A and B are shown apart, each in its own frame.
Chain A
Amino acid sequence: MYMYDFTYRRPATLAEAAALFAGADSPAFLSGGHTLLPTMKNRLAMPDLLIDLRAIPELAGIRHQGGRLEIGAASTHEAVAASPEVRAAIPALAALAGSIADPQVRRVGTIGGSVANNDPAADYPAALLGLGAEIVTDRRSVPADDFFEGLFTTALEDGEIVLRISVPVPEAAGYAKLCSQASRYAVAGVFASRTGRDVRVAVTGAGSDGVFRWAEAEAALSLRWDGGRSTAGGGRAPRQRSR
């Protein structure tokens, strides 16, 4: 299907991106585009200017420093899944990235796009909330607890750009999801992490208002993390079940 007419720009700097955004009637930031373009085909979004953020250096790269993973917003799901830094520090996060959609989509879709979109069936919001990550933008750093506000709604202001995700490395973490039989998105997914006695459990898919923390599970797991069985920490791939 041919889409309606719009203009595409690919700024090389944050300043240029901000100027383009400020000067347009109805601009939208573009990253992998694997949610935005299908949405535009349906006319559920109709920006007149697409500002591609993928050439901006601040959004690139994955580093492990000071006990945190710093994941550039333009990192594709494939890059996160294959990153030696992520695989070594938080194998459950690498495995989660490798379980999103299919290989073709993982090649293009990005963590920044997924986080900014906050689809209620997306995997990353559960991971970021379940790990206590910070979403670093061109204006500030927002804790995941304050970032995901509801269905397709985040704390991002007009024109604010996600630069990277800053993730504290936990002692153990795991992710399991139930996939839609046809489309493989997460009907429900749970990400759990533990650092000392501090346990976080976040659920995607199953809430009427998007991703949420599950206090009862956190309380129970902080008393007994292993539940008498081996846990989903370490390098195990996310357990997936179909309906």
Chain B
Amino acid sequence: MTELTLTVNGTVHRCEIEDRTLLVHLLRDHLGLTGTHVGCDTTQCGACTVHLDGRAVKSCTILAVAIGGAEVTTIEGLAPDGRLSPLQEAFRTHHGLQCGFCTPGMVMAGTDLIRRHGGQVDERMVRGELEGNICRCTGYVNIVKAVLAAAAEYRAAQGEGA
């Protein structure tokens, strides 16, 4: 067992974990944050995507013990007071989900890609950058639409700030 300190969605947690604990298990089984899903468990489908120090990673292939001191944001952390983030809102507006299983990972990956490119993305880029997130309902058209809408909103907000 190893002692670990980790900030998750702004709250500092001190946990005693086995070395073999994957980040996704720490989040779901120790902290009760079940919004992060396990899909393929082989680093391909992206359902387990969370932000580690602000960037999207696949939490089924990260050892929790290796990231002591880091800041993790999960899908729950995007809507702290129950108010949806702009991308979550766009997923609702554009019907960017069908069964919803891949959605937390899509939203975390989409949030990262919008931020990383300052909202300057087009359809080709969004499709390319969501390569690591699989939707088995094949609902990609509306997922891409939602990301593009949120990116446009991001650009507009940046413009206002300038």
Contact = CB atoms under 8 A, between A and B. Distances in A.
Per DSSP, chain A at the interface is loop
Nearest to B40: A38
Interface stretch (A4-12, A152-160, A199-207): A4-12
A173 B10 CA distance: 46
Nearest to B55: A107
Interface centre among A8, A54, A102, A108 (most CB of B within 10 A): A102
Nearest to B53: A107
Contact of A103 (B44, B65, B112): B112
Given A34-B43, A104-B46, A105-B132, A6 B20 contact: yes
B16 interface: no
Contacts of B133: 102
Interface in B31-78: 41-44, 46, 49, 52, 55-58, 61-63, 65-66
A197 interface: no
Per DSSP, chain B at the interface is mixed
Contact of A104 (B19, B58, B66): B58
Contacts of A220: none
Given A8-B19, A38-B43, A103-B113, A108 B61 contact: yes
A236 to B, nearest CB: 16
A239 interface: no
Contact of A102 (B20, B25, B132): B132
Interface residues of B, number: 29
B20 A3 contact: yes
Contacts of B22: 2-3, 37
Contacts of A41: 41-42
Contacts of B58: 104-105, 108
Contacts of A183: 44
A238 to B, nearest CB: 13
Contact of B61 (A2, A7, A8, A38): A38
A101 B132 contact: yes
Given A5-B18, A8-B19, A103-B109, A37 B66 contact: no
Interface centre among A102, A104, A105 (most CB of B within 10 A): A104
The 8 closest A-B pairs by CB, nearest first: A102-B132, A8-B19, A102-B131, A3-B20, A104-B58, A104-B132, A8-B65, A104-B56
21 contacts: A2-B20, A2-B22, A5-B18, A8-B2, A8-B63, A10-B66, A33-B61, A33-B66, A37-B22, A41-B42, A50-B63, A54-B66, A102-B133, A103-B132, A104-B46, A104-B56, A104-B57, A105-B43, A107-B55, A107-B57, A108-B61
Interface of A: 1-8, 10, 30, 33-34, 37-38, 41, 50, 52, 54, 101-105, 107-108, 183-184
